[in-house]
Structure 1
Amino acid sequence: MVTSVKIVTQVKLLPEAGQAAALRSTLRTVNELANWVADVAFAHDVPREYELRKHTYAHLKAQGLGAQAAQHVIKKVRDAYTTLHANLLGGNLGKPGSKRRIKAESKPIAFRPQAAQPYDDRCLSWQYDQQTVSIWTTAGRIKNVRFACSAGALKTLQQYRKGESDLIERDGIFYLVAVCEVPEAVPYEPDGIIGVDLGIVNIATTSTGYQAAGRRLNRYRKRQLALRSKLQKKRTRSAERRLKERRSREARHVKNTNHVIAKTIVTEAERTSAGIALEELKGIRQRVRLRKPQRVTLHSWAFAQLADFIVYKARRAGVPLVYVDPAYTSQMCCECGHTDKRNRVDQGLFICRNRGVVAHADRNASHNIAARGAVVWTAGRESRVPATP
């Protein structure tokens, strides 16, 4: 059975003036109606999409939405409430009685005028050779809307696009975000394991010597934090607009940095026919106790994003990947296995109390992760071998 990994491919729309006006009007209309549907769902406590459809479908049709567009608006609202309830159950919005949780539970979900609107193949068709799309709007279906993307993205769309695409508007520019199901490559038998230690000072350190220093990124984020603090004190509309722009800019910068690091690690593993071992970092924010000045750095750094990028790139390339227990990897000597919290002298220095081995702390941890990864891979391989009679 061939498995696949879902990725999203974004293209930039290049509509003419009239087409842009139709797309903008469509987004505002469907999101206004989505807010109305959200109010109905909140007032009637409608738990299921089918019941919500009975309360709202006729009104959406009367407002000029097509059948498919109306269904997508209802489903979008229902999915948003499902996500909200999951976050409440998971404690992601605070404990019962907290201000943040009460605020989330006390009012309907609201959609921004530019919020994404899903389209299926009945409402949207792609012409890859001409690099145009035909798309439904409240003003009727408009054709020959040009789009731009890289050659690699176009090839991915042609071969693997499947399912819905989202229309969004960002800073006056329209984008289509398409879901692509890319088949995974068959993992090869690794000739060794590369351990990857994730951190803040050094974003990623591998057991083969690659190190992605986080000094420049941390300086950038510290500067952005100071600028945001100044803007927040002004409390003007223009300051709020600037704040939003800076948040988006910083998120894109961090995302691009994580993409580059993940690609470097996976490419090195593929070139050397090696596998990758990552620490299982779920719950790190709950486990780690830090001083107040350090909490902003920890909670704003995208641990999960970098790990997810490494995972999906490895799956696409067929690079074997395993997770290991992160316990004591920074305190254990990779040479003799002696574990002592005093071995970690400071952030960057490791000195074994048993044999006196001196090493970079992150490099030592990456070797421990690689060793554990080899054990995990061997154990998993042996468990897949049928027992001899």
Structure 2
Amino acid sequence: MSWQPDALTVSIWTVRGRSGRIPFACSPAQLDMLRRYRRGESDLVFRGGSWYLYATCEVPEPETFDPDGFLGVDLGIANIATTSDGVRYAGRQLNQVRHRNRRLRSRLQSKGTTSAKRLLGKLSGREARFAADSNHRIAKQIVTEAERTSRGVALEDLGGIRARVRLRKPQRVTLHSWAFHQLGRFVSYKAARARVPVVYVDPAYTSQGCSACGHISKKNRPDQATFACTSCGFAEHAGVNAARNIAVRGVAGWAVSHAADDAA
């Protein structure tokens, strides 16, 4: 196949010969990217009754700026993401959709009929698109806020998150069904395009440690949503407190990595 971006058309070779001058639509920003960075293969995909062309673009990664602090991001169950600024993303409404889909999936699996399996396939695709769309929105808002305030983004290192977290069965299902790694990837690539630096930190004890005095204790978490320090009395939403600890670790991690680069 070949692209004609100025004419907004493509020419595709098929088993019946070449089908030339097929019109396509995209945003101005996507068209500019096609013109400047398209490389390699393109995939023709039929989805939801429409045809899509996925083009590979190799965009050079710009140099990141020197951040004025970090925006910490805590990933969780009740809220998919909570920032150190106190912003909580994708809470009750998103979880209601996820739980409804889980109940429907369970009913379809128990039937085991051909039509039920077909519906399960459709549900799986719908859930994946829903998660990707939600993650795109969350990632965009996080990166936009970091860019606006000249900060970097500090994320949890998600290695072993499913093995590390101890939860009740309903919460384990919720944890396993969400694409946390995808959210992290979306934040990373959107940040790279915006020149926003990203660091990954060890999340150990960020939920039990006090962001005010540093005291660590399981007793600091009287319930899932609350943090109340048993040492200094500081109280905050648990996700916000954890995100602030992640932000502090982001600053330290950035300083260590760049001190090593300067020494080299």
TM-score surpassing 0.5? yes
Deviation string 1:145-173 (CA, Å, 9 cap, x unpaired) is: 22222222222211111111112222443
Alignment correspondent of 1:169: 46
**Distance (Å, rounded) in 1 between the aligned partners of 2:107 and 2:214:** 49
Are 1:193 and 2:70 counterparts?
yes
The Cα of 1:315 is off from its aligned counterpart by: 0.7
* TM, length-normalised to structure 2: 0.94
Alignment correspondent of 1:361: 238
Are 1:304 and 2:185 counterparts?
no
Which secondary structure state, in structure 2, belongs to the residue aligned with residue 311 of structure 1? helix
Q: Note the 1:253-264 alignment, pairs <5 A.
A: 253-264=130-141
Match for 1:255: what amino acid? A
Q: Give the RMSD, CA atoms, in angstroms.
A: 1.6
**Distance (Å, rounded) in 2 between the aligned partners of 1:201 and 1:303:** 13
Alignment correspondent of 1:265: 142
**Distance (Å, rounded) in 1 between the aligned partners of 2:249 and 2:152:** 12
- For structure 1, which runs of at least 5 residues remain unmatched after alignment? 1-123
**Distance (Å, rounded) in 1 between the aligned partners of 2:110 and 2:207:** 40
Deviation string 1:227-252 (CA, Å, 9 cap, x unpaired) is: 22333344444333332222212211
Are 1:348 and 2:225 counterparts?
yes
The Cα of 1:193 is off from its aligned counterpart by: 1.0
The Cα of 1:294 is off from its aligned counterpart by: 2.6
**Distance (Å, rounded) in 2 between the aligned partners of 1:171 and 1:309:** 23
Instruction: Indicate conservation of the 8 Å contact 1:184/1:317, yes or no.
Output: no
Match of 1:370 among 226, 247, 250: 247
Are 1:224 and 2:101 counterparts?
yes
**Distance (Å, rounded) in 2 between the aligned partners of 1:228 and 1:380:** 45
Alignment correspondent of 1:151: 28
Deviation string 1:346-376 (CA, Å, 9 cap, x unpaired) is: 1111111111111111111011011111111
**Distance (Å, rounded) in 1 between the aligned partners of 2:238 and 2:218:** 12
In terms of mean alpha carbon deviation, does 149-158 or 202-211 score higher? 149-158
Instruction: Indicate conservation of the 8 Å contact 1:349/1:358, yes or no.
Output: yes
Are 1:283 and 2:164 counterparts?
no
* TM, length-normalised to structure 1: 0.65
Instruction: Indicate conservation of the 8 Å contact 2:109/2:117, yes or no.
Output: yes
Match for 2:6: what amino acid? D
Which secondary structure state, in structure 1, belongs to the residue aligned with residue 200 of structure 2? strand
- For structure 2, which runs of at least 5 residues remain unmatched after alignment? none
Q: Note the 1:94-105 alignment, pairs <5 A.
A: none
**Distance (Å, rounded) in 2 between the aligned partners of 1:354 and 1:179:** 54
Deviation string 1:314-348 (CA, Å, 9 cap, x unpaired) is: 11111011111111000000111110111111111
Which secondary structure state, in structure 2, belongs to the residue aligned with residue 277 of structure 1? strand
Instruction: Indicate conservation of the 8 Å contact 2:77/2:171, yes or no.
Output: no
The Cα of 1:291 is off from its aligned counterpart by: 3.2
**Distance (Å, rounded) in 1 between the aligned partners of 2:29 and 2:117:** 36
Match for 1:334: what amino acid? S
Q: Which has the higher contact order (CA 8 A, sep 6+)?
A: 2
Alignment correspondent of 1:136: 13
**Distance (Å, rounded) in 1 between the aligned partners of 2:120 and 2:221:** 39
Match of 2:60 among 183, 189, 213: 183
Match of 1:328 among 192, 205, 227: 205
Match of 1:245 among 98, 122, 126: 122
Match for 1:137: what amino acid? T
Match for 2:167: what amino acid? L
**Distance (Å, rounded) in 2 between the aligned partners of 1:276 and 1:264:** 12
